[in-house]
Chain A
Amino acid sequence: MMSSRSDEIDVVVALEIGADDYVTKPLRIRELVARMAAHLRRTRLESVEAARSRLEFRDLVIDVNERRIYKANKEVELTHTEFDLLTFLAGNAGKVLSREKILNTIWGYEYPIETRVIDVHIRNLRRKIETQPSRPYYILAVPGIGYRFTNARPT
């Protein structure tokens, strides 16, 4: 873990290829272990308390209990963090969520963390669930604040 290559490009690349998180140099072991605990705690909580079992939107279905996503009836593979992020956004459909709120909920850190982490994960998510990622229908940016998931539901 913990390579010396923690420049910005590497961080973005790391998140784009499916990593959930990164830790910059110099490595602080206690911070690393705290972050690990946050990820694992999230996994454990999710396994016992899936609030709503199924969220459905236009051509997108989120099966919370099974942790599966379907786009136009075809399953889409998401990373752990992508799934959590999407479920949080979709579970609050129509509400504006600030980057800070998203960070605290999904990553759960008290450590300062760059908000670009969210932006990269959002970009990955859009590539997977949007028909036109450059003109997103589901995950909308709210300039200067964060993101909002569409509140449009199937009729």
Chain B
Amino acid sequence: MISTTETSRKVLIVDPDATTRREVRAACVQDGYQVLEAENGAEALREVGSAHPSLVLLEVALPDGSGFDVCRELRKVDAAVPVIIP
């Protein structure tokens, strides 16, 4: 069920693959989320610092390094935001 609270939730999708981002975005939008996208780790960290997403979907294989490293750095910016990685 989509509530008004749900619609204010921002999800950051971090994935270099445009097709994956598009598919995940479509499902998120369908469920009422706002969606932010990042193609690499640097973009992801910028988005977390500036847009303060409610949740981050983080691919491990990124063009500018490992998603693991990004997760560590991300924790310095926001210690509490839920992060889901494969």
Contact = CB atoms under 8 A, between A and B. Distances in A.
- Of the listed residues A1, A6, A13, A24, the one surrounded by the most CB atoms of chain B closer than 10 A to its CB is A1
Given A1-B59, A2-B15, A17-B72, A29 B84 contact: no
A81 interface: yes
A6 B86 contact: yes
A77 B75 CA distance: 9
Interface stretch (A35-43, A95-103, A130-138, A142-150): A35-43
Contacts, number: 113
A10 interface: yes
Contacts of A13: 68
B54 A23 contact: no
A25 interface: yes
A29 B23 contact: yes
B24 A14 contact: no
Contacts of A37: 6, 31
**Interface residue tally on B, bucketed by range:** 35 or more
Given A2-B15, A44-B5, A39 B86 contact: no
A80 B81 contact: yes
Nearest to A10: B60
Interface of B: 5-6, 9, 11, 13-15, 20, 23-24, 27-28, 31, 33, 54-55, 57-61, 67-68, 71-72, 74-75, 79-86
15 contacts: A1-B57, A2-B86, A10-B60, A11-B86, A14-B71, A21-B85, A23-B85, A33-B27, A33-B28, A36-B55, A39-B82, A43-B82, A44-B5, A79-B79, A80-B82
